[in-house]
Amino acid sequence: MTDTFDSTDSGRSGTPLRHLQTVAFDGAFVMRLGGELPGVVCGYETYGELNAQASNAVLVCHAISGDSHVACHDADDEPGWWDALVGPGRAVDTDVCFVVCANVLGGCRGSTGPGSIDPATGRPYGPGFPDVTVEDMVDVQAKLLDHLGVTKLLAVIGGSLGGHQALAWATRYPDRVGACCALATSTRLTSQALAFDVVARNAIQSDPDFHAGQYYDKASKPDTGLAIARMLGHITYLSSQGMSDRFDIDRDSPRQIDTDFEAKFSVGSYLAHQGQRFVGRFDANSYVTLSMAMDLFDMGQTHDQRAEAFGAATCRWLVVSFSSDWLFLPSQSREVVAALTARGQAVTYTELHTAAGHDAFLMQEDVKRFGPLVRAMIVSAEAGTPPPDSDSLPPGSDSSSSAQVEALSLIDERIAELIKPGESVLDLGCGDGRLLAALRERGAGRLCGVEVKEPAIVATARRGLPVLDYDLNKGLPEFSDHSFDVVVLSATLQAVGRIDVLFDEMLRVGKRCVVSFANFAYRDLREMYAEHGRSPKAKGEYRYDWYDTPNRRFPSIADVQDLLTAKGATIHQGIYLDTQAGKVIAADDDPNLNADTAVLVISREG
Amino acid sequence: MTDTFDSTDSGRSGTPLRHLQTVAFDGAFVMRLGGELPGVVCGYETYGELNAQASNAVLVCHAISGDSHVACHDADDEPGWWDALVGPGRAVDTDVCFVVCANVLGGCRGSTGPGSIDPATGRPYGPGFPDVTVEDMVDVQAKLLDHLGVTKLLAVIGGSLGGHQALAWATRYPDRVGACCALATSTRLTSQALAFDVVARNAIQSDPDFHAGQYYDKASKPDTGLAIARMLGHITYLSSQGMSDRFDIDRDSPRQIDTDFEAKFSVGSYLAHQGQRFVGRFDANSYVTLSMAMDLFDMGQTHDQRAEAFGAATCRWLVVSFSSDWLFLPSQSREVVAALTARGQAVTYTELHTAAGHDAFLMQEDVKRFGPLVRAMIVSAEAGTPPPDSDSLPPGSDSSSSAQVEALSLIDERIAELIKPGESVLDLGCGDGRLLAALRERGAGRLCGVEVKEPAIVATARRGLPVLDYDLNKGLPEFSDHSFDVVVLSATLQAVGRIDVLFDEMLRVGKRCVVSFANFAYRDLREMYAEHGRSPKAKGEYRYDWYDTPNRRFPSIADVQDLLTAKGATIHQGIYLDTQAGKVIAADDDPNLNADTAVLVISREG
């Protein structure tokens, strides 16, 4: 029974942390919102060895109910909560990296928290413990890194509250962070998520055994309130679909457990089990303190406020959201990306489709999918700029081949020739990042890809290139006016529903744009149509049958030119190709009939 | 302050119900899950007058925290919780209908519940009150209708738990229900919704003042637990977007309220207010009893079980879901529709796009949108079969003109001629229901439309025709094999992404199919394409520009014929039209060139 209940719980059974180390920092520690502690203790675990240059450190930050035991240390050790990501040969490779994970300030697993003894009174702080913010947690971790001799982190990685810490690290200690991997997180909680926290704290604080937080010397602790808070938390960590998959089948057959809580339904016995299990390993005051720290975390309500908040950061970024996460919405991750993008920072973003809800960031199956992106960030941070070739990849890396520059298609060659060294380029529908990689080789400026296909996103990221998982049908709201020298749209136009809207957006974001597309009025296609009365098919983008093509738009060169002209865009240059014959078609040789492909250079100003 | 907090709350301030009437039913009332009550009292309110034939009664069922005060009785009366739907001239028109709303069994507003005196002990039932099911509630309401002299209801209407009651009415008393309007409901709760109820009950039942349910003679009641349960409920009634819209702007500026609960954030003060307000008007045991009744409601886990459960019903159906309702998912409403459709019942279904969450069924703006559908159901039920012409509409109806049969297009005339009297017809992309209305006039059998546009759905429903809000891109999973004599797809093919999949589905569901579509290889279009090299435009479906058309598919007649042949379908008949010239094109006169429209009759068997 216990097996089916054990899951993605980011904490474990409450056994002592065998590999816990502690360090005490004497002297007053002033908290961000006022109040101070006379000193702080930081409990932490480390994995792997710090190298001689102290250049291989990675900091992992845990979520509300997690702790420093991110991974198991050896075969005899208890499982860690992120064994799927961290360990020998894993994405965060402890054979190569020195991994640090600290218990957060305010918690109850080895760092100073409300249950710690206040030297002034000789009793636990309890309600006297000051409000903790995410920034305070991070400041203690910075002291820890000083203590460990780590000046700069290759990467800081965290999900949920751990993601909040990662965002705070990148903005509060910009010089100390090479890459920031922020998973299933946000710049602040939704009002809905905040509301759940409020109800959870009300359950704890209205428990008669809470005694206004000073219950440590009492026979009974506020276990009922804490258990109810935990039950509520568990609902929010799973998706509705995930809960149905798990509990619908035996809805009315609860597991037999010993509980005073309701255990009438299958899901009820699960919640009772999780609630009861949690009180054995967690302190109610710590839960209140940490959930309040999450609620207080706030990098701004508006885009401009967020962009300002991220202004100090200089690292590379990986932002990952999960489609069924309703506690930390994918739209909130996109807000992070938009703020970073507005500041010209290099971000890779993906939204993974999964039924695992918020817990997905902990689930083995999902970790397998975003692990390569985390690895690519660490590798890029390790190599600095320019990003790595295959030689600099750490042992065990499997990205050596795809990181190499591959041959471009004839059309992409033409596009690359239109871009000058040093120019910044946004490639919409970047595929596996081949064009961007070639441009980097030729000495381009800032580069960014946009793509929706997960394998293509991973392939681009593994080249060390930033890539954003955005749907071009929604325009380019994340990008500022004229924020790129060149915006490229190559072999993608035919799949975009509102290409007229996207053209407006491209012309806004790019100082100039390069558009390549297959000509649906090419001679062969016209013939199929006119003579045979059948929907044309061709090589390339138009290789599909009419009824199962991903394409939605079938314009000729003249159609596109007409539309651009109607939009007030200037067509500076047109390159017309008959790729089947391998020749260039002159502008006065009726390219609308004779070319199967056009490459246009356009801009709004002229 | 209170104003901004008062909202969609389906109960009110706890003042006495001035228009409450009660009736006592003596004799043992045996509960469905065992246990019995020595007698039951039913508290109710009525609106309007029962007519001489007792044929104008409508029963409204309330949700968990609602009561019999569905609408105000006069200008001096307190507002009702569904004034937007029920009242003089409203969709449920009390000038015409006799409206009954009963307080549910197990509640605390006038019908027998856990707080009622048990004659055997002279004390409140408390924990001795038996488990109540939705079916028990409905059985008491049936006694009430007997008492009122109502044999048959025009309609039973309810949302949420009220929707559960409506479903139970239609299946438990099929002969007494003309139409069933089930809003924001399901055949059973999701495991997630059930989990929230479990946590809410745990909060109540673990409150030390709960005293195992026998708290009525105590100085303190389990107000804390009940308030926490209510806070949790409120979160689930709103959408995340709705909460953000309301609370993000002044997140850190809570309303000043007198509370022992946390009131640090704006949303926290809202929850504290709602929680505290609720305990003044609701009994904790009733909350436990009613939420358990919802959790126990179960018409089956699988499609087959649900179809079996709905087998006895004979009424007309309206099912409405709300896009942002995450407590009762639109997919659950579609399960209801699928079960009914499998049983050949007449259903209208729509999913309204709204940010109001589960509460949408109570919100004035959303009521305005689904109100006409409720009205159409009542009008249809009033008229019986065949549905009404304009003469039978009640006074104040505004659907008189659209209910009339309008002229068909030339193409629809041709389609109508292909359908024999008595045949059942499923019209995919039915628009405003004109073809179906014409077929009804000609004496068709069972009719059903499928449409996605809200105004078209309303227009079809107002003709008294069943119409389903389904996306044809998802196939026709709700329909059984060969469940219609004819499936029509007219002027719709070009907007469907996977028309090949839809053809398979049509050929499965229909004994034969009629497909009409514009020919993209019509002479004029070919010329535009071949001679001018521009995407063709034409009248009708192809009137859009290439870049902003809703169309995704551009086949010729030959293309469609090829695809159908490849699928093993037999083309029994082809009618080819040049609608612009107003003439029929003979099959040997190259219709793929000369016809702008084709009508094909096809089937799988041949």
What is the bridge-based pairing of β-strands B597-603 and B510-518?
antiparallel
| A305/chain B closest Cα distance in angstroms | 13
Give CA–CA dist A454/A301, Å, rounded: 30
d(CA A130, CA A30): 10
Q: What tens digit of pLDDT does each residue of B141-159 get? A: 999 999 999 999 999 999 9
Residue type, B239: S
CA distances to A509, B134, B319, B333, B583 from B470, rounded to whole Å, are 38, 29, 13, 12, 35
- Grouping H, G, I as helix, E, B as strand and the rest as coil, residue A46 is strand
- Contact of B129 with B8, CB cutoff 8 Å: no
Q: What is the pLDDT of residues B231-241, one digit of tens each?
A: 999 999 999 99
Per DSSP, A133 falls in state -
pLDDT at B530: 87
* Mean pLDDT rounded to a whole number for chain A: 92
Pick from A399-413, B249-263, B321-335: least confident: A399-413
DSSP B534: S
For A136-177, the pLDDT digits (tens) are 999 999 999 999 999 999 999 999 999 999 999 999 999 999
Question: Cα(A447)–Cα(A466) distance, rounded to whole angstroms?
Answer: 7
pLDDT of residue B415: 96
Could you check whether A2-296 and A406-606 share the same CATH topology?
Answer: yes
Task: State how far the Cα of B248 lies from the Cα of B135, in Å rounded to an integer.
Answer: 41
In Å, what is the CA distance from A475 to each residue of A478, B6, B181, B428? 9, 38, 40, 31
Structure tokens at B510: 């229909």
**Residue A344 region by backbone torsions, left for phi larger than 0, else alpha for psi between -120 and 50, else beta:** left
Closest chain B residue by Cα to residue A295:
B265
Phi, psi of A41 (to 5 degrees): -105, 140
pLDDT tens, B354-387?
Answer: 999 999 999 999 999 999 999 999 998 888 744 3
Top mean-pLDDT range of A292-301, A475-484, B531-540: A292-301
In this predicted structure, the answer to whether residue B394 has a pLDDT above a threshold of 50 is no
Please indicate whether, in this complex, the C-beta atoms of B265 and A533 are within 8 angstroms of each other: no
Q: Rounded to whole angstroms, how far apart are CA atoms B532 and B537? A: 12
| pLDDT tens digits, one per residue of B568-595 | 999 999 999 999 898 999 999 999 999 9
Q: In chain A, whose CA is at the least distance from the CA of B559?
A: A534
Who among B326, B535, B556 is closest to A535 (CB)?
A: B556
The structure's pTM equals: 0.94
User: Element (H or E) spanning B523, and its range?
Assistant: helix B523-532
Find out whether A211 and A186 touch, Cβ atoms under 8 Å.
Answer: no
Q: HEC string of B286-345?
A: HHHHHHHHHHHCECCCCHHHHHHHCCCCCCEEEEEEECCCCCCCHHHHHHHHHHHHHCCC
**Res. A120 pLDDT band, cuts 50 70 90:** very high
Instruction: Return the pLDDT at B391.
Output: 35
Q: Between chains, do B248 and A547 touch, taking CB under 8 Å as contact? A: no
Structure-block tokens of residue A73: 């240390």
CB contact under 8 A, B301 and A251: yes
Mutation for B interface: A192, A231, A255, A266, most B CBs within 10 A: A192
Virtual torsion, Cα B546, B547, B548, B552, nearest 10 deg: 60
Of A58-67, A381-390, B44-53, B374-383, minimum mean pLDDT range: A381-390
Coil/strand/helix, residue B24 = strand
Contacts of B521 in chain A (CB under 8 A): 529, 533-534
Q: What is the 3-state secondary structure (H, E, C) of A289-332?
A: HHHHHHHHCECCCCHHHHHHHCCCCCCEEEEEEECCCCCCCHHH
Q: How far is A517 from chain B (nearest CA, A)?
A: 14
Q: Which two tokens stand for residue B189?
A: 């709760």
Task: Report yes or no: A137 and A166 within 8 Å, Cβ to Cβ.
Answer: no
Are A244 and B559 in contact (CB < 8 Å)? no
Q: What is the pLDDT of residues A575-592, one digit of tens each?
A: 999 998 989 999 999 999
The pLDDT of residue A396: 38
- Structure-token pair, residue A286: 């710590």
Query: At a CB cut-off of 8 Å and minimum separation 6, what does B453 contact?
Result: none
Q: In the predicted model, is pLDDT for residue B393 greater than 80?
A: no
pLDDT in tens, A429-463: 999 999 999 999 999 999 999 999 999 999 999 99
Indicate yes or no: CB of B265 within 8 angstroms of CB of A198: yes
Identify the pLDDT of residue A528: 86
Burial class (CB in 10 A: 0-12, 13-18, 19+), A190: buried
Nearest neighbour of A547 by CB, restricted to B195, B243, B563: B563
Q: How confident is the model at residue A546 (pLDDT cuts 50, 70, 90)?
A: confident
Q: What is the pLDDT of residue A404?
A: 58
Catalytic positions of B are 160, 325, 358
- What's the pLDDT score for residue A44? 98
- Determine, for residues B534 and A558 on separate chains, whether the beta-carbon distance falls below 8 Å: yes
Domain ranges of chain B: 2-296, 406-606
Which stretches within B89-212 are classed as H helix? 134-148, 161-172, 191-205
On chain A, the residues whose CB falls within 8 A of the CB of B553 are 546-547
Residue of B nearest to A550 (CA): B497
Judge contact between A464 and A388, C-beta under 8 A. Answer: yes
pLDDT band at B390, cuts 50/70/90?
A: very low
pLDDT at A31 over 50: yes
Task: With CB atoms and an 8 Å threshold, state whether A535 touches B529.
Answer: no
How far, CA to CA in Å, does B176 sit from each of A169, B38, B93, B160, B464?
67, 26, 20, 21, 20
Place of tokens 């995450």: B326
Are B535 and A547 in contact (CB < 8 Å)?
no
Q: Do A547 and B499 touch (CB under 8 A)?
A: yes
Fold classification of B2-296 is Rossmann fold (3.40.50)
Q: Work out the minimum CA distance from A387 to partner chain B, whole angstroms.
A: 39
Which residue in the list A67, A139, A223, A325 is annotated as catalytic? A325
Torsion of CA B308, B309, B310, B311, to 10 degrees: 40
Q: Specify whether the CB–CB gap between B357 and B322 falls below 8 A.
A: yes
CB B577, CB B594: distance < 8 Å: no
pLDDT in tens, A48-92: 999 999 999 999 999 999 999 999 999 999 999 999 999 999 999
Taking the CA atoms of residue A453, residue A459, residue A465 and residue A471 in that order, the dihedral angle to the nearest 10 degrees is: 0
In angstroms, the CA B87 to CA B94 distance is 5
Cα dist from B429 to B424, B483, B484, whole Å: 16, 18, 16
Q: Is the pLDDT of residue B11 over 80?
A: no
Average pLDDT on A197-226 reads 97
Q: Decide which of 3.40.50.150, 3.40.50.460, 3.30.530.20, 3.20.20.140 is the CATH code for B406-606.
A: 3.40.50.150
- Please tell me the distance from the alpha carbon of residue B173 to that of residue B313, in angstroms, as a whole number: 8
**Contact criterion met (CB < 8 Å) for A552 and B552:** yes
Q: To the nearest whole number, what is the mean pLDDT of chain B?
A: 92
Do residues B595 and B578 make contact, with C-beta atoms less than 8 angstroms apart?
yes
Only one residue has tokens 């015409």, namely B96
Residue at token pair 């975003």: A370
Residues B514, B489 contacting (CB under 8 angstroms): yes
Q: What was the pLDDT predicted at B126?
A: 96
DSSP string, B433-489: SHHHHHHHHTT-SSEEEEE--HHHHHHHHHTT--EEE--GGG--TTS-TT-EEEEEE
- Phi, psi at A86, each rounded to 5°: -115, 125
Query: Residue range B157-166: average pLDDT?
Result: 98
- pLDDT on residue B529: 87
pLDDT at A128 over 90: yes
Q: Which one of A10, A111, A160, A324 is the catalytic residue?
A: A160
C-alpha to C-alpha distance for B385 and B382, rounded to whole angstroms: 9
Residue A14 pLDDT exceeds 90: no
pLDDT digits (tens, 9 = 90+) for A275-331: 999 999 999 999 999 999 999 999 999 999 999 999 999 999 999 999 999 999 999
- Which pLDDT score, from 0 to 100, does residue A522 have? 93
CB distance B444 to B419 below 8 Å: yes
DSSP A17-30: -TT-EEEEEEEEEE
What would the DSSP string read from start to end of B347-379? EEEEEE--SSGGGGGG-HHHHHHHHHHHHHHHH
Task: Give the distance from residue A370's alpha carbon to the nearest chain B alpha carbon, in angstroms.
Answer: 26
* Residue ranges in A394-548 assigned as alpha helix (H): 400-403, 410-417, 434-441, 454-462, 499-509, 523-532
CA-based nearest residue to A68, from A104, A114, A113: A104
Q: How far apart are CA B164 and CA B117, in angstroms?
A: 27
d(CA A82, CA A84): 5
Q: What backbone phi and psi angles, to 5 degrees, belong to A138?
A: -70, -35
Residue A291 φ/ψ region, left for φ over 0, alpha for ψ in the -120 to 50 degree band, beta for the rest:
alpha
CB nearest to A563's CB, from B268, B301, B547? B547
State pLDDT tens for residues B415-450: 999 999 999 999 999 999 999 999 999 999 999 999
Please tell me the distance from the alpha carbon of residue B562 to that of residue B553, in angstroms, as a whole number: 15
Residue A186 predicted with pLDDT over 50: yes
- A191, A506, A524: best to mutate for the B interface, most B CBs within 10 A: A191
State residue B548's pLDDT score.
86
Give whole-number Cα distances, A346 to A153, A160, A335, in Å. Answer: 17, 21, 15
Chain A residue numbers with beta carbons less than 8 Å from the beta carbon of B500 are 545, 547-548
- The pLDDT tens digits for B484-506 are 999 999 989 998 989 999 999 99
Give all strands (DSSP E) within B78-193, no chain letters: 86-87, 92-93, 98-102, 117-118, 123-124, 153-159, 177-183
pLDDT-based confidence at residue A565 (cuts at 50, 70, 90): very high
